[in-house]
Amino acid sequence: MRMADCHPDRPHKAKGFCLSCYEKAYYVADRERILARVKGWGVANREHIQAHRKAYDKANREHLLAYNKAYRKTTRPKVYTIYGSRCGDCLQDHADIWELHHVNGRADGRDVVGAALRKIIQVGHPLSAYALLCPNCHKRRHLAARLAAEQATLKT
């Protein structure tokens, strides 16, 4: 059996490469075409993907709920510590009830709490994008923003 030039301990696939190196070289050479094909398949099969996801979520509901609860339980304290462990407005320590406020509003109209937490911890999301607030201060900020928007529409 012929062995690969890249990894002499692995079997040869093609062009002197083992299987993993050949697939990597193929992807690097045709990256744009492969990504376009994958994106096209996703668009063409959106209903299939949504149905599969819905069936998976239904079949694994208890496991997903337990996983998400455990993830939030371990992640929220980390984010709480990153933001200084206090409400950004009243400076009170509300460890058990804090909320994340989107300072500039939500970019796409929705944001899942787990995704926001993940952005802050893993990606190093800018601290200026969110504010750690207690529920009262969070409500106050939203009411103030709504009143300002109403006054702006009245002036025009």
Query: In a 3-state reduction of DSSP, which class is residue 117?
Result: helix
For tokens 């045709």, what's the residue? 30
* Maximal CA-CA distance, the chain: 81
pLDDT of residue 106: 67
Question: Is residue 109's pLDDT more than 60?
Answer: no
Three-class secondary structure assignment of 24-74: HHHHHHCHHHHHHHHHHHHHHCHHHHHHHHHHHHHHCHHHHHHHHHHHHHH
Structure confidence by residue, pLDDT tens digits, 2-42? 999 999 999 999 999 999 999 999 999 999 999 999 999 99
**If you count them, how many residues does the chain have?**
156
Confirm if 135 and 101 have CB atoms less than 8 A apart.
no
pLDDT in tens, 55-88: 999 999 999 999 988 988 888 888 888 888 888 8
Q: Using a cut of 0.75, tell me whether the model's pTM lies above it.
A: no
